Amino acid sequence: MTTAVETHGHALSVPTEPPPIDAHRMEGMRGLFALMGTQRPLVIGASLSAVLGVAAGLAPFFFLAHMATAIFATPPRLDEVRTLALASVGAVALRYVMSGLATVLAHVAAFRLLHELRMRLARKLGDVPLSFFATRTTGELKRVMMDDVNQIEAFVAHNFPDGVAAFAVPLLTAAALVSVDYRMALASIAAAPVAVLVMSLALRGTEEQYRTWQATQDRTNNGLLEYLRGIHVIKTFGLTAKSFGDLAQSIEENTRWMERFMRRHGRAYGAFHALIGSSLVVLVPMGGHLYLAGSLALPDLVLFLVLGPQLLTSLMRVMFAWGNVKRIGEGNARIARVLLAPDLVEATKKAQPLHHGLAFRGVGFRYTDGNEALRGVSFEAGAGKVTALVGPSGAGKTTIARLVPRLWEATSGRVEMGGVDVNEIPLDALLERLSVVFQDVFLFHGTVKDNLRLAKPDATDEELVAACKAARAHGFVEALPDGYDTWIGERGARLSGGEKQRLSIARALLKDAPILILDEATAFADPENEALIQEGLATLCQARTVLVIAHRLSTVASADHIVVLDAGEVVDQGPHEALLGRCGLYQELWARHAEARDWSLHVRGLRAAEGVLS
């Protein structure tokens, strides 16, 4: 939710919005050009510079052929040799200038594209509904934002201009050689059809193989992330990376894929390279025969012997560049699928709530896989009142809580705030009225101040301290090495669960929203932390509309209104005493809660006795 709030409240900006992307044609050059967006002029400029640079690099070969004639003439034409030598030096200098310009333009375009794509992807992930993430793993999205974008950056910076030059220059060179002698020009490319045929046969079925490779890479990413996140469990059970199933299997699959690929295609690649480098085998005997027969001049023979092999060498660069296009095609398509995902539908009526009460009217919700989570849910959470949602696991309590800030979208019925459908309230205005404290607190890698100011970026230090004192968090924050400036590590790794929860309450207090949603805020707290969290929540709930979810019924027995849920439906609702007298499910839940509390007290008593005896 924090991401969504920040994204809508502080929109990420891209200088110029690129044109729309066609999702159906993303795996070839068309798709690559679509993703280049506003950087196309720079990429085109780099490509033209690369073409001019390579063309300038070929010019000295023409000059060398004429220099040979001038040198061996009777008498030698030394002035012509000097002129051609100076022209060769100029061509070489031009080659390095244009090549350098191509490199600079390509790298500038690549790094701008890297920035632009990541900004667009980050903004898109903030704009899509939470259902988007239900069908995608963290590893898949990490691959899109990091690996796939990096592939495009590397291709644009290093391969694209060279590939264009490798494709354009042989055409120009072939045209120039044909104008000199078509027979020797054909001899220069005699091995090309066989080489292309060998490579084409070798590349059959590689698209499916690359898809397998990409799927294996996704599994490796997911396995690695899971391994790192669960490292404490893995160490506890004495496991190693090798014994950690998914990760070990995906790494082994990568090795086997590469072995199979090289066994299948290695010989073809070797044959292709051998054929590409074999043009002199045809050029030397044929050129010698034509020269001795008097039908080919010496300068032309020298020209073909020096320049002819360059044709097939350039062909190899074309094949290499085309292979890179095919290799990054799947990544381009994945990026496009994220960028084209439908956004959370923004309100069109721009309605404003009349008060801060919530109402659910015949609400239904169905997940993307078709499973129904809610059916005809109807109840009201009065303004300034505490409304509790109780029920067994899987009853739909958290789903209801996530419908209010539109993390999920109701598939039927209406969710209302202040008498207005939440879909008709501008998202910024909706989220400004809400604070949410989840059971699974997420803290970003940064300082305590950084995490608190997510709720209010312009908050003063005094406001931060006041919020932490109210949330009973000031004491432990002050005890940290650098106080409020302490870096708390990734996901708050330096803090206990109760400390993180109290920081999340302080963050909610700092936002000072009139509607508060509490999702199992004390679920994982120990008794000491639970008492402190309850004190902080008591301060937080004052004069607010509160929708609270709790398994510990003692924490919600004093709520103004309790809604009992089971299997996505409302079983009963009312105050605690009324439900205890008439609702069978609530009676059962209360009895279980009392048994668990008695068992907890019994265990504490035994521990106390053990302490006395010892």
Sorted by where each starts, the structural domains of the chain and their CATH numbers stand as: 20-191+277-339 (1.20.1560.10), 358-582 (3.40.50.300)
pLDDT in tens, 538-579: 766 677 888 888 777 777 788 889 999 998 999 999 998 999
Q: Which one has a higher pLDDT value, 45 or 605?
A: 45
What is the rounded average pLDDT of the residues 404-416? 89
**180 has a pLDDT exceeding 70:** yes
The CA distance from 43 to 36, in Å, is: 8
10 Å Cβ neighbour count for 223? 20
Exposure letters 160-194 (e unless 16+ CB within 10 A, then b) = bbbbbbbbbbbeebbeebeebbeebbebbbbbbee
Q: What is the pLDDT of residue 379?
A: 93
Mean pLDDT calculated for residue range 22-49: 72
Q: What gap in Å lies between CA 489 and CA 496, rounded to an integer?
A: 12
Per-residue pLDDT, 474? 87
pLDDT of residue 362: 94
142 touches 121 (CB < 8 A) = no
Q: Which of 345, 500, 480 is nearest to 422 (CA)?
A: 345
Q: What angle do CA 77, 80, 81 make, to 5 degrees?
A: 85
515-519 and 434-437 strand pairing = parallel
Confidence bin at 14 (pLDDT 50/70/90): very low
For residue 131, give Cα distances in angstroms to 143, 342, 422: 19, 11, 17
> What one-character-per-residue DSSP string does 59-74 give?
HHHHHHHHHHHHHSSS
DSSP 366: E
Estimate to the nearest angstrom the gap between the alpha carbon of 447 and the chain centroid: 24
What number of other Cβ atoms are within 10 A of residue 371's Cβ? Answer: 9
Specify the pLDDT at position 17: 44
> DSSP secondary-structure letter at 447?
B
Is pLDDT above 60 for 6?
Answer: no
Q: Cis before residue 75, ω within 30 degrees of 0? A: yes
Instruction: Check if the beta carbon of residue 106 is closer than 8 Å to that of residue 43.
Output: yes
pLDDT at 5: 33
Q: Is it the case that residue 24 has pLDDT exceeding 60?
A: no
Cα(63)–Cα(86) distance, rounded to whole angstroms? 10
- 14 vs 598 pLDDT, higher one: 598
Q: Which two tokens stand for residue 532?
A: 């402190």
Per-residue pLDDT tens digits for 235-270: 555 555 555 566 667 777 777 777 777 777 667 777
- Give me the chain's average pLDDT, please: 77
CA 149 to chain centre: 9
- 46 with 102: CB under 8 angstroms? yes
Of residues 329 and 464, which shows the higher confidence score?
464
pTM beyond 0.75: no
> How far is CA 277 from its chain centroid?
42
pLDDT tens sequence across 121-161: 888 888 887 777 766 777 778 888 888 888 888 888 887 77
The answer for 16, left when phi > 0, alpha when psi is -120 to 50, beta otherwise, is beta
Distances (CA, A) of 146 to 140, 150, 152, 498, 532: 10, 6, 10, 33, 41
Predicted pLDDT of residue 414: 92
According to DSSP, the residues that pair with 434 across neighbouring strands are 515
Least confident piece of the model among 345-349, 397-401, 484-488:
345-349
Q: Mean pLDDT over residues 476-482, rounded?
A: 88
Find tokens 């640079």 and name the residue. Answer: 53
The pLDDT of residue 2 is 37
What span, in angstroms and rounded, lies between the C-alpha atoms of 243 and 247? Answer: 9
Exposure class string for 569-604: b at 16+ Cβ within 10 A, else e: ebbbbbebeebeeebebbeebbeebeeeeeeeeeee
Lowest mean pLDDT among 213-222, 303-312, 468-477, 504-513: 213-222
CB atoms within 10 A of CB 363: 25
Work out the pLDDT band at 601, boundaries 50, 70, 90: very low
* Residue 490 DSSP one-character state: G
Average pLDDT over residues 57-72: 78
Q: Which long-range contacts (CB under 8 A, 24 or more apart) does 20-28 make?
A: 21/336, 21/339, 21/340, 23/333, 23/336, 23/337, 23/340, 26/329, 26/332, 26/333, 26/335, 26/336, 27/326, 27/329, 27/330, 27/332, 27/333, 28/325, 28/329
Crossing angle (nearest 10°) for helices 461-470 and 527-541: 120
